[in-house]
Amino acid sequence: MADGRPSKRRRSARTKPAAAPAAAASTAPGPPLRGNEYLDHFTAQHAAFPPDMARLLDPELPGGEARRAELIGLIDGEAALKYAWAVPDERALRVLAHHGPIVEVGCGRGYWARLLRDRGVDVVAFDHKLPPKKQRWTALKKGGPEVLAAHSSRALLLCYPEDFEDSDESMAARCLRHYTGDTVIHVGELLGEGCCLPSPWGRTTDAEFQVELNTTFHKVLQVPLPSWPCSRDSLTVWKRTTTLITGEGMFAHVPAEERLAVGEGVAAPSLAHLLGT
């Protein structure tokens, strides 16, 4: 990967995880972690990056491929395996806490679940392939999409759920088929937001899931997350859409209070001047 992390792209397998720190050895919720050490680690890494790290993917990067290799070498490629693929910050955790209780499927080592539990959120976290107990950040349960039938009262959290390691079928899409609740929270990249080509869907979930998500739910909130080079992660909240079927066709009903506001418009910095009155 250009950002130093192991591949997390459609139809790709996870790399064997590195050992978790001693602080994560307990499988019980345990005492609160000292802050958010993944975010602290991320922040320290980014503060140490040289200015030209912002041009990592620029074809005209001064120094060419030799310099690009040097920049990649500055990135901690093991952090995603030790903690999680996406970096949680306090705003994201606050959004999740607001929508609790939570059920997470594809929780990995449970770092996000641990931070939520530290903040008093009721979370049940599942993964079909649990890591060894000494590598878990908190108590986890074995299970996949099929467990969601029993958790319709909880908001569904999907944080970089796909790896396509055991099957070509989208695990996240299966989650939508089993989940009958009203709220889905997606963490990672969505259509048009990733950097890894040729797929436009990002490296979190594939087309099957994202089309179904946009067909069955509507987005009510999106906040950016701290992102490693080559990633553009965000947390999005989705509410189930009710439909109207008439002789004219099928229509989505989105209440006014659940419609995303664009205010004066949205523009890249290079075109922001066009939004002025």
201: number of CA atoms within 13 Å, CB side?
19
With H, G, I as helix, E, B as strand and everything else as coil, classify residue 190: coil
Instruction: State residue 262's pLDDT score.
Output: 73
Q: Which CATH number fits domain 33-61+74-257: 3.10.20.30, 2.30.110.10, 3.40.50.150, 2.30.38.10?
A: 3.40.50.150
Cα dist. 156→3, 10, 177, 180 in Å? 29, 21, 12, 10
Return the higher-pLDDT residue of 1 and 96.
96
Q: Is the separation of the CB atoms in 103 and 42 below 8 Å?
A: no
| pLDDT cut 90: percent of the chain above it | 60
**Token output for 186:** 């997606």
How far apart (Å, rounded) are the C-alpha atoms in residues 266 and 4?
Answer: 31
Average pLDDT, the chain: 85
Which distant-in-sequence residues (6+ apart) come within 8 Å of 42 by Cβ?
Answer: 79, 87, 226, 228
Residues 119-134 have a mean pLDDT of 94
- Please report which confidence band the pLDDT of residue 8 belongs to, taking 50, 70 and 90 as the band edges: low
Please check the confidence at residue 259 and state whether its pLDDT lies above 70.
yes
Angle, in degrees to the nearest 10, between helices 207-216 and 171-178: 30
Task: Give the pLDDT band (50/70/90) at residue 12.
Answer: very low
Q: Which two tokens stand for residue 194?
A: 């990733």
Reply yes or no on whether the pLDDT at 97 is more than 80: yes
Is the pLDDT higher at 206 or at 106? 106
What's the whole-number mean pLDDT along residues 101-119?
95
Contacts of 260 (CB under 8 A, 6+ apart): 219, 220, 221, 222
pLDDT band for position 253 (cuts 50, 70, 90): confident
- The CA distance from 96 to 81, in Å, is 22
Q: For 44-78, what is each residue's pLDDT tens digit?
A: 999 999 999 999 989 999 999 999 999 999 999 88
Confidence at 164, pLDDT banded by 50, 70, 90:
low
Hunting for tokens 């209780």 — which residue is that?
101
Q: Residue 200 is encoded by which pair of tokens?
A: 């436009």
pLDDT of residue 73: 92
Q: Say whether pLDDT at 188 is over 70.
A: yes
Q: What CA–CA distance (Å, rounded) separates 40 from 173? A: 33
pLDDT at 236: 95
Which residue do the tokens 């976290």 mark?
125
